[in-house]
Structure 1
Amino acid sequence: MDVPAFVETWNPITLAIPFFTISVFAEMVHARLTGKTRFETRDSASSLVMGLGNNVSSIIFGLVLGGWSVFVYEHRLMDISFAWWVWVIAIFLDDFLYYWSHRFAHTVRWFWADHVVHHSSQHYNLTTALRQPWISPFTLKFLWLGSAMVFVGFHPALVAFVGALNLIYQFWIHTEAIKKCPAWFEAVFNTPSHHRVHHATNPLYLDRNYAGIFIIWDKMFGTFQAELEDEPCRYGIVKNLGTYNPLKICLHEWLAIVKDMAGAKSAKHAVMYLVAPPGWSPDGSRETSSQILARWKARQGVGEVESGKAPTAPEAAE
C-alpha cells in the first residue's frame, strides 16, 4: 500500500513545537498583564522537564513500539486505504479509544501510576499540558488498546499521525485564559472549561470529562460534568506531592504500589493494589474517587448531583 508522502515525512508534534513555545510565552504575558492565569516558576520548570523527558522516552522506546505496530499490522484483519473518509473515521475511532484508555488510566491503579504525572501540578496552564510521564510503555497498554486500530487494518503511520493530532489538540485546552467557547463548540468538542473539570480535585469534578477531542463520548457514557460558576476548580491530585523533583513526580505512584504490594496480607490484596481504582485499600482506610464523592454528598445532604447544578460549596477533598 502506498503511504502518502506527508504521513511518512511529517511529525505533527515536532511541527507543533514552535506553536507550543509561542503559546506558552503568550499565556505568560497574559498572566502578567491580567492576573487571570497563574504560573509558578518551579512548577512550570518541572512541567517542562517532564515534557522533555517524555520526548527522550519516546525516542528510546520508539523502536519497540514501532516494531510492535508493524508486527500487528502484518496480522491485520483487512486492508484499509488512505482515502479522505478513512481519515475522518480514524480521527473519531482514535478519539473513542482514547476516551476509554484515559478512563482506564483513572480507574485502574496500574495505569494511574503512569497518568498521575500529568495531574500532579496544582496549577493549570499550558505548561501543564507538557507535564507527561516518562515510562508509559511499562504499563503495556500499547499491546492491546494502542494496537486495536492497526489490527483492524489502519496503517500504523496513519494511526500514529491521528494520535499525534489528538495530542496536539489537547494542548490548547490546558488554560484558564479561555473561559467558555461558543455553545455549539462546547456541546461537541473538548474545551478548556471541560478539561479544567477533568484536572480538578473537587469531589464533584473527580474522574469526569475523559475526552480527547470530542466531549460527546463523556455525554454518551455518563462521565460528563459541566464546569460550574459557583464551584471553582482546585487542581492537583487528592493528596498532592509537595515536590518539584521530576524523578519523584515520575516514580512516586509506582513506588507506592510496590510498598503496598510488599505489605499486602494476601495475594488477592496484592493484585487489588494493582487493578483496583486509585485509593482502594483492603481495610477502607483510604478512599477512591467514588467514595470521596459519596462522602461529600452525604455531608451536603443531597442525592445524585446533576451535571449542570451543584448544592452548597463542598469541602476540599482530603
Structure 2
Amino acid sequence: MTTTMTKPSATRPAPALPRAPRRKPMWASKIAVNTALVLATAYTVLPLTWLLVASTKSLGDLSGNAFTLTEFHFFDNLGDLASADGGVYLRWYLNSLLYAVGGAGLGAFCSVACGYAFDKFSFKGKEKLFGVVLLGVLVPTTALALPLYLLASELGVVNTFWAVFVPVLVNPFGVYLARIFSAGYVPGEVLEAARVDGAGELTTFWSISLRMLMPGFVTIFLFQFTGIWNNFFLPLVMLSDRELYPLSLGLYSWHTVVTAEPEYYPLTITGALLAVVPVVIAFLSLQRHWKAGMTSGAVK
C-alpha cells in the first residue's frame, strides 16, 4: 500500500496594518490655545492700561516708571486739557462727533439703500455696476486722498467742514455688506405682499425693509463710525484751520510740538484716553441690536 504525503503549504504573514497617526496630547493643544489668547489679550490690554495710568501722572512723573501710581493728577490734567489753547480740544471733540456720528449715520443709510436696491431690483448692468463697487473696496482710502483734494479744490470747498464730511459718506464695503444682509433678512414674499396691498417701493423700503435690515444698519454704522473717528489722512490733506480739526489731527498737532513744549505731553495722553470713550460707548450701546439681529437671522 502506497502512502501519499502532502507537503504542508507555507503560511504567508498577515499584512501589517497602517499605524494610526500619533495624536498630540490634549494638554499641548490647550497650552498653545491659551498662550495665543494670553498674548492677544496682552496686546490689547497693555497699551490701554499704560494710557490709563499715564493719564493720572503729571509731567514730572511721566519720565519715571509708566506703570507706577505715585500721585493722582487726572483731574488736574482734565482741567489743563479743557483750557489749553483757548479750549480748542473741546472744539476738536465736537468736530469728531459731527464727522463720525453724522457721517456714519448718513453713510450707513445710503449703504443700506444701495445694497437693498442691488439685491431686490433688476436693472441693466446691475452686476457690472456692483463689480465697480467691489473694486472700490480694494482701493485704500489713502490713495484717494489726493484725487479728493483736487476735486475739492475745483469745487472750492478745501479747508471747510464739507471737504471731510462728504467723502466719508461713501462706503463701498458697506454697500457689499448691505446686499448680503438684504438677501438674508428681507424675504421676497414680504415685499410681494406689501405690493399687493398697494404700498409703493419707497413706503415698502422705509416701513418694512429698513426695520428688517436694522442689524445690518447697526453693523455698517459701527464699522463706519470707527473708521471716521480714526480718520487722519483725509483731514490732514483737506484742512489747515485748527478750528476744523478732528481729534486725531488735533492730538497729532500737539504731539509734534512735545519736544519743544513738554507741557503738551500729558495733555496729549489724557486727550487720547478721552478719545477712546465714544467708540466704547457706541459698541456697548449698540451691541444688543447687533446680537438680536444675528439671533433672529439664525432662526427661521
Could you say which structure has the larger radius of gyration?
Answer: 2
- Is TM (by shorter chain) over 0.5? no
Higher normalized helix content (fraction of residues): 2
Normalized against structure 2, the TM-score is what?
Answer: 0.28
Greater relative contact order, per chain length (Cα 8 Å cut-off, separation 6+): 2
